[in-house]
Structure 1
């Protein structure tokens, strides 16, 4: 193997199955049909660690006590595709229906969890929508956003809040003017004040949050599509338990939950509400 060149090392079926099982057991993500993806993406990781084969890589993974080898695998194999104002109907719903319900009765801060935040576009879109609602309604909007992801690499990018300038075009012009700052010919950054109420945290959705919290709104969109049925059921139960009574869970439109999968009540497309015990 020549390091520094694009080289794809082939996986044996046994090696591939070991990676599939490791990833499923530790992160809940199903790679069963993605052998070519694993080979291509892991080429960089084998080069970084200067190991000549997957057999040697797996030996490193088994012996690793620092978590560095596993973190590198996560950074390479997790899919972090996202963009600003994705599935915009959900943000319209927040501003027109859910924010007006939440804020008149909220004395403390509204707690929002953006689970699987990837590079941060979703949590910043949420912050923009909250600022916009505060301005348009005149309400005292106090909200805190917890943004979590399993990958340290994408969390670092999210915290910086710097994006290619073409991504800004997905936002309304008024939002571009208020919440985005051009940096150079190719990049912009989000306004610093959008970060004030966002906390970024590395977190594996298979595990409980390190601090017991309950949320008024949970965004877990386009995450469950990577999980198999058993893991998905476990995640839904955990999300239900993390919701306050009357709180809302948003999923992706390709992740609709059946009545058998959740105790929550579907109230809008891909939006579920935790029924109050008094209802």
Structure 2
């Protein structure tokens, strides 16, 4: 394994903090392990030479490879299921009444390999079927890693992940393609748009959202980056819109102007 010098480690940590808001200061061994193949791909034998390539990386290939290796993309279907129950039992009806004929806009920020946005699509379809209505919703799913976005767009997952999905949903929304894998139904993809996006930058050309899912993302950010992220998410919410965060990501009162309405769920106050 190629080792980092103390200065190289500090340089990698600062690069990730400055550009992506992600805190790697306690991840030296993780960096060394995950970056071994990336150094091999770039045909360098030490981190010093790799960092030189990174500084000259005008096309983004080196940075993209680094992001793919070092970002955490752990997720699964129906993660923190109470959030989806809340959408089905309350929030969809509330937003549908308010928006009437206009579409609902939902943003999955840090969508990783797509399980969250496909769960949302299943949840929306269930709501429509139970209530005999059309939600007319659009989902924007973003992540910083091109590698995981490609997987999300394909919608193909190991067979073990199907166990997290209720049996009735498995029958309706999952298709076995191989002995050890399945894919989500094509109709779930119709209203999902996948985009590469760095959460330290504005999300352009999308307008504001009625619901934002940014769950289990900011736990990897330092304090300054977290504050920038929360501010940006607030700005991207419509008045009356909802922000869902991870259950381990409680926002302090001085961090946000949103009001907490449920566990890990915040609402933007209506304008007067």
TM-score, with length taken from structure 2: 0.99
Residue 97 (structure 2) aligns with: 104
Please state how far the C-alpha of 1:104 moved relative to its aligned partner: 2.6
CA distance in 2, matches of 1:257, 1:275: 16
Residue 128 (structure 2) aligns with: 134
CA distance in 2, matches of 1:136, 1:168: 23
Deviation sequence 1:42-89 (CA, Å, 0-9, x none): 001001111111111011111111100000000000000000000000
Tell me whether 1:237 sits opposite 2:239 in the alignment.
no
Tell me whether 1:72 sits opposite 2:65 in the alignment.
yes
Paired residues in the alignment total 271
CA distance in 2, matches of 1:21, 1:54: 14
Match of residue 262, structure 2, among 268, 274, 279: 268
Residue 189 (structure 1) aligns with: 183
Residue 255 (structure 1) aligns with: 249
Q: Structure 1, unaligned stretches of length 5 or more? A: 1-7
* 1:145-164 equivalent positions in 2, closer than 5 A: 145-164=139-158
Residue 53 (structure 2) aligns with: 60
TM-score, with length taken from structure 1: 0.96
Residue 125 (structure 1) aligns with: 119
Deviation sequence 1:175-226 (CA, Å, 0-9, x none): 0000000001000000001000000000000000121510000000000000
* 1:187-226 equivalent positions in 2, closer than 5 A: 187-226=181-220
